[in-house]
Amino acid sequence: MSALDIFALIILIVLLAAGLTAWAMLGAFPGRIARQRNHPQAEAIAVCGWWGAITMGILSPIAFIWAYSNPEVSIRGEPRTTAAAPQSSEEEHSS
């Protein structure tokens, strides 16, 4: 093996390591974003991010959008309300 072959092999190994590192970072990134934003579904987003990495990007856009979503706000930007407690019968009859 000549010096040029060894140099090409080193470059190939470095590129392979960089590609695997980028793949791992992109797989972990949606889950990390969700945890930093205290998303209630952070673990599910992390799983979706890893499945996106495994499927070569099919689920990745969904994971990123899901990580940046805010489930406590409606589409219009208004806070979501929980179901109102039923009024007692005394309040209904006093009107």
Distance CA 15, CA 62 (A): 28
**Across all residues in the chain, what is the average pLDDT?**
85
| H/E segment holding residue 14 | helix 3-36
Distance CA 35, CA 85 (A): 32
Domain that holds residue 60: 23-70
Kindly state the percentage of the chain with pLDDT values over 90.
61
- Whether 41 and 34 have beta carbons less than 8 Å apart is answered as yes
* pLDDT for the residue 89: 57
Task: Extract the residue ranges of the chain whose pLDDT is less than 50.
Answer: 85
State how many domains the chain has: 1
* pLDDT for the residue 14: 98
Contacts of 51 (CB under 8 A, 6+ apart): 59
* pLDDT for the residue 56: 87
Report if residue 47 sits inside a domain.
Answer: yes
Distance CA 85, CA 95 (A): 18
Report if residue 39 sits inside a domain.
Answer: yes
